Amino acid sequence: MTASDTASPRATLRTTIFGLSALGVAAYLVVTAAMFAAAVWQLNRVFAADVLETLSAEVRTLTAITETGDSEALRRAVQRLSRGANTRLYYLAAADGSKLAGNLASLPPKLAPGGAGGIFPYSFDGGPNSGERYAAGLAVPLAEGGRLIVARDVEDQRQLVWWLRLLALAGFGIIALGGLGLGWLASRSVLSRVDTMSEATRRIMAGELSGRLPIKGSGDEFDRLSQSVNAMLARIEDLMHGLKEVSDNIAHDLKTPVNRLRHRAEATLRTAKTNAELSAGLGQTIEAADEIIKTFNALLLIARLEAGAIEEAKATVALAPVLADAAELYEPVAEEAGLQLIAEDLADVSIEANRHLIGQAVINLIDNAIKYGRQSDGRNGNERRERQATGTGLRIEIVLREVNGRAVITVADNGPGISANDRARATERFVRLDKSRSLPGTGLGLSLVAAVARLHGGELRLEDNAPGLRAVLTLPV
């Protein structure tokens, strides 16, 4: 679907926001109409009850006069009440229907003799019968076939109800148009944002991996969605760049070892004269092959970690024993290198993690500290051991603490360290700084640690230990 398709009126009417707006407006109108109808019905009921009570009281007063048997007295009373009245209406009829007294022009045909009363149009005696005013009345049968009509003008009440209905209809129309109009505008705004985001995604799918969804800065749901998608796109871009770098680095860094392996095998076949020489050459070839296999295994493990795969299920892991075991394993290696390995400040911290991967990450940090932390000490073995005994030699400290709900594992050495410009690069795959080129290694140790940290929701930071390097691995508790 193109941008012109999504901008069409039909597309706007099909949006979820417009549909919800129309549904909301309809529901509001139905509920409001029901409430208004109930209010009007109650108002009419109150008006009718009030008029009926007034008419009933007046009828009782007038019919009491007829109990004396003086019909002339009733006529005079009706005539007196009719003078100057505007809303009080009367009609006294003889047995043949002729008018005896009252201010109504004619006998209301809707009020049957002996009926319960009702609403009827009327005009004053001597005035035009326009039929535009209405009254509510009661018809009372009299002796000798006569009839008495007592009524009250209810035109004002009828006009009030009529205006209320008119205002309600106008209000319903305004609400319907306004609600649908706002829904239309909201739908157009949403479609505009969607069109912009769709255009950005099309550019990204076309190969522009650096493209990102636009963020207006309003903090609305679209901004939050864009931020999440942009974070995902940034991660995908990093993975794509990482894949490219891995391919380039494999071609660059493994080309020499593979060629060396081949030349060594050829040299062994060419120069070996005895079984001992042949065995020695094959042994060297196997060692070189093991290094290449180790490199590929590290690459495979990092790839699995980047994909979120874990060989073992996560479990509650006490970190202090893991660090103590790693320190005990590498203590002889550190002593051989003239380093003092200290792992005494280990807090009691447990996390949900893969124990094997955490242990591998700690071992990589210790191995990295031993390998590169000894480079600043050019003295012989006796001098290094003497400095170690006096506490002035090179040392590696392993610390475990809990800070703000996070486990902080620190492996620090006082060797040459890494410059601030190279620390970010040091965790990338196959990156080996110039000073470490002479030492064996693949350049994947810190990359593996960083991948393990990300898999567990943590991070790896390289800091200055003044002197030396401090590797800080933080993991959520």
- Name the β-bridge partners of 351: 317
- Phi (first) and psi of residue 400, to 5 degrees: -130, 120
The mean pLDDT of 315-329, rounded to a whole number, is 89
Residue 471 in tokens: 């590797």
Q: Which residue has the tokens 């050459």?
A: 281
pLDDT > 90: what percent of the chain?
Answer: 4
pTM: 0.45
Find the DSSP H helices in 150-274: 155-205, 221-253, 255-271
pLDDT reading at 41 higher than 60? yes
User: 283: part of which helix (H) or strand (E)?
Assistant: helix 275-306
pLDDT reading at 7 higher than 60? no
- Average per-residue pLDDT in the chain? 78
Is the separation of the CB atoms in 316 and 287 below 8 Å?
A: no
The mean pLDDT of 173-190, rounded to a whole number, is 82
User: 292: part of which helix (H) or strand (E)?
Assistant: helix 275-306
Give residues with Cβ within 8 angstroms of 294, minimum separation 6: 442
| All structural domains of the chain | 1-206 (no CATH), 209-253 (no CATH), 311-476 (3.30.565.10)
Nearest to 78 by CA among 94, 113, 95: 94
The pLDDT of residue 438: 45
DSSP 8-state assignment for residue 104: B
The pLDDT of residue 86: 72
- Phi (first) and psi of residue 128, to 5 degrees: -70, 140
In angstroms, the Cα distances linking 365 to 126, 129, 250, 362, 448 are 114, 108, 23, 5, 10
pLDDT (tens digit, 9 = 90+) per residue, 411-465? Answer: 998 888 777 777 776 776 555 554 444 455 556 778 788 888 888 888 888 888 8
pLDDT > 70: what percent of the chain?
Answer: 77
The pLDDT of residue 436: 47
The pLDDT of residue 401: 92
The pLDDT of residue 440: 52
Query: DSSP letters of 213-245?
Result: ----SS-SHHHHHHHHHHHHHHHHHHHHHHHHH
Residue 55 banded pLDDT, cuts 50, 70, 90: confident
Q: Which residues of 271-280 are buried (b: 16+ CB within 10 A; e: fewer)?
A: eeeeeeeeee
In angstroms, the Cα distances linking 178 to 183, 187, 288 are 8, 14, 78
The mean pLDDT of 286-295, rounded to a whole number, is 74
